[in-house]
Amino acid sequence: TPPAERYEYQAEVSRLMDLIVNSLYSNKEVFLRELISNASDALDKLRFLSVTQPDLLKGAVDLDIRIQTDKENGIVTITDTGIGMTQQELVDCLGTIAQSGTAKFLKALKDSKEVGGDNNLIGQFGVGFYSAFLVCDRVVVSTKSPKSDKQYVWEGEANASSYTIREETDPEKLLPRGTRLTLHLKRDDKGFAHPERIQKLVKNYSQFVSFPIYTWQEKGFTKEVEVDEDPAETKKDGQNEQSEKKKKTKTVVEKYWDWELTNETQPIWLRNPKEVTTEEYNEFYKKTFNEYLDPLASSHFTTEGEVEFRSILYVPAIAPMGKDDIVNPKTKNIRLYVKRVFISDDFDGELFPRYLSFVKGVVDSNDLPLNVSREILQESRIVRIMRKRLVRKAFDMILGISMSENKDDYDRFWENFGKHLKLGCIEDRENHKRIAPLLRFLSSQSVDELISLDEYVENMKPEQKDIYYMAADSVTSARNTPFLERLLEKDLEVLFLVDPIDEVAIQNLKAYKEKNFVDISKEDLDLGDKNEEKDKEIKQEFGQTCDWIKKHLGDKVASVQISNRLSSSPCVLVSGKFGWSANMERLMKAQTA
């Protein structure tokens, strides 16, 4: 037989293993969730490919995961009939790690110290496999890919800088397809090799895996067996020797071992919403999307008619790390299934507009072909209809949060995802009427608490026609602007747009409930209180002063005019009617700097 070859781990892997072992020791049992999730991924991949290549299923039709324990020797084996790995894939997948992943993981670990919870980080950063070394001295991965006619064995030890790969030659150990992990537990962790312990962990961590997980369990049944009567006793009872010689029976327990189905495989979205508890929805969310906080809201629905699909959508409690890239298209936020087969979570706006990419969920359709490709997704009429419905449901869900009795919920939503909705004002004209009621701003009359546009409209003066706003870089500068003076005097409310994106968003909306948004810093602001007589008088009195100022400032200003917009300040610089506002100008400058 060919000898085992030794390979060095990529430096990042060694570092990562150190980290995992030293940082995540407090919740070792997550290793099982990670390894089961890898098995489930491998089965998903195989099932997906087998749609177009049914031959792949040859040799082992059943797609399942089997976990066996050996208490005496402290060994757990996890076997799946998934896609397996070729020799090269073993090197690529279990010996290297994308550097960016490590970097992100490191950062997240640091950040999590503040948030308080690092248990779910392993899975989020694609380092799941190495969590085996939380509990193992030695891990053996024997695997057979349909792409190769040979089966290979990867072997690694905790705290080692290298691993080996050899060909599997023991005919007893050959697999039809898939992967078997043999976990040699550390002395102190041998407790994981108890069948009841494993069963409990599987139930706890993998109730939403959509493939059957079997665990090897000891079973027993009782049976009545005939026993011979004790001859001594018969003698004592001498008299009725003949009639008493009845047959006696005894109950015994017969023990044997067998596979036991340990998880529930009916996907939660196929169940009747009335029968699913909030806890179940939340658990499903956390396990599917590697989240550690409950979602803010969820929505489970079925659509019928033209296109049929089932879906569960969620609004997360907080924005993902690296908040800046709010439109990161690669968020894997939507998991698409066709007839329960997982198809993809790698979308770029096909199923959800990018600005809503914070919404997470699963979508299962019977109307799409199983071999649906990117191109089909982009052109499909069905997908367009699905997208429309999903977006509506997402807005309904967000509106629900805004109407919740617990006001904190929406505050929290807005803090995390307000920017996304503002982006929606710019990108999604079609949904303006759904987005606008969800927007929140500070105002001249509410500098600490955000108000909605509805609240603004409610508070408008009877003769007031427009919605006034002032864009500035902070509430303080908005409050101190001279433009505000006359509006304050008249008790007119002014929205303070202090987030850089606010002004562009508002300009895209143009109006709300047929009331135009009006920038109070623009030249032609009309507060509906013109007094022509008085204007004439003032013009005569100050006309020359204006000319004099214009002469001295020259090209620095477009014109110098008399205005009735100020009450206590003597003068103010304003933007022309068709020019950029001062705020926009500041933004443009910042961008070109």
**φ and ψ at 105, to 5 degrees?**
-60, -45
Whole-number Cα distances in Å, 560 to 61, 442, 573: 84, 32, 9
Nearest-5° Cα angle at 415, 411 to 420: 120
Q: Which is nearer to ligand ADP, 97 or 470 (CB)?
A: 97
Helix (H) or strand (E) holding 349: none
- The residues, ordered by sequence, that sit 6+ positions from 221 with a Cβ below 8 Å of its Cβ are 253, 254
Q: How far apart are CA 574 and CA 152, in angstroms?
A: 75
| Among the residue ranges 31-39, 55-63, 353-361, 544-552, the one whose residues contact ligand ADP (CB under 6 A) | 31-39
Please select the residue that binds ligand ADP; options are 19, 21, 51, 93, rule is CB under 6 A: 93
Q: Quick check: 83 binds ligand ADP (CB under 6 A)?
A: yes
Task: Please return the burial class of 264, using the count of CB atoms within 10 Å of its CB with bins 0-12, 13-18 and 19+.
Answer: middle
- Determine if residue 139 is labeled as part of a ligand binding site: no
- Distance of closest approach, residue 39 Cβ to ligand ADP, in angstroms: 5
Which of these, 393, 396, 591, 371, lies nearest to 501 by C-alpha position? 591
Binding mask 202-241 for ligand ADP (x = CB under 6 A): ----------------------------------------
Nearest-5° Cα angle at 280, 278 to 284: 120
- Determine if residue 322 is labeled as part of a ligand binding site: no
Q: Quick check: 153 binds ligand ADP (CB under 6 A)?
A: no
- Distance of closest approach, residue 263 Cβ to Mg ion, in angstroms: 17
**DSSP string spanning 213-235?**
EEEEEEEEEEEEEEEPPPHHHHH
Residues that bind Mg ion (CB under 5 A): 38, 128
| Under 8 Å between Cβ of 13 and 96 | yes
Token reading at 211: 């493939």
Q: Quick check: 129 binds ligand ADP (CB under 6 A)?
A: yes
Please select the residue that binds ligand ADP; options are 36, 39, 296, 442, rule is CB under 6 A: 39
- Determine if residue 114 is labeled as part of a ligand binding site: no
Q: Quick check: 21 binds ligand ADP (CB under 6 A)?
A: no
Q: Quick check: 365 binds ligand ADP (CB under 6 A)?
A: no
| Under 8 Å between Cβ of 581 and 521 | yes
Q: Binders of ligand ADP: how many residues, by CB under 6 A?
A: 17
From Mg ion, ligand ADP, none, which one binds at residue 70 (CB under 5 to 8 Å depending on kind)?
none
- Distance of closest approach, residue 37 Cβ to Mg ion, in angstroms: 5
| DSSP letter, residue 379 | H
- Distance of closest approach, residue 125 Cβ to ligand ADP, in angstroms: 8
Q: Quick check: 431 binds ligand ADP (CB under 6 A)?
A: no
From Mg ion, ligand ADP, none, which one binds at residue 82 (CB under 5 to 8 Å depending on kind)?
ligand ADP
| Under 8 Å between Cβ of 94 and 163 | yes
Q: Quick check: 91 binds ligand ADP (CB under 6 A)?
A: no
Which residues are known binding-site members for ATP?
34, 38, 80, 85, 100-101, 124-129, 179, 374
Binding site for ligand ADP (CB under 6 A): 34, 38-39, 41-42, 80, 82-85, 93-94, 126-129, 179
